[in-house]
Amino acid sequence: MEKADKIIDVLESEGFLMNANIELKRMNSGTTSGLLYTLLLDKKPAYVIKIDDSKIISSTKDFLLAYKEISVIPDVIYADEKDNYIAYTFIPGETHNNRGSKLEWMTILIRELFTKYNKINNDTSWGRVNGIHRSTGQSLTILVFSLLIKA
Closest CA to 51 of 75, 23, 86: 86
Q: Answer yes or no: pTM beyond 0.85.
A: no
pLDDT of residue 150: 54
Domain boundaries, the chain: 2-89, 102-150
Phi, psi (5° rounding) for residue 37? -130, 145
Alpha-helical segments (H) within the chain: 2-13, 54-66, 102-112, 136-150
Residue 25 has pLDDT above 60, yes or no: yes
> If you average pLDDT over each of 1-5, 40-44, 67-71, which comes out highest?
40-44
Residue 71 has pLDDT above 90, yes or no: no
Q: Which is higher by pLDDT, 83 or 146?
A: 83
Give 54's pLDDT tier (boundaries 50, 70, 90).
Answer: very high
Pair 17, 7: CB distance under 8 Å: no
Centroid of chain to Cα 93:
13
pLDDT per residue as tens digits for the range 86-142: 999 998 876 666 666 777 777 877 887 777 777 766 666 655 555 555 555 565 666
For 2-89, CATH number out of 3.10.20.30, 2.130.10.10, 3.40.50.300, 3.30.200.20 equals 3.30.200.20
Q: Around Cβ 103, how many Cβ atoms within 10 Å? A: 8
Pair 58, 78: CB distance under 8 Å: no
pLDDT of residue 66: 87
pLDDT of residue 146: 63
What is the average per-residue pLDDT within 24-46? 85
Q: Which is higher by pLDDT, 18 or 6?
A: 6
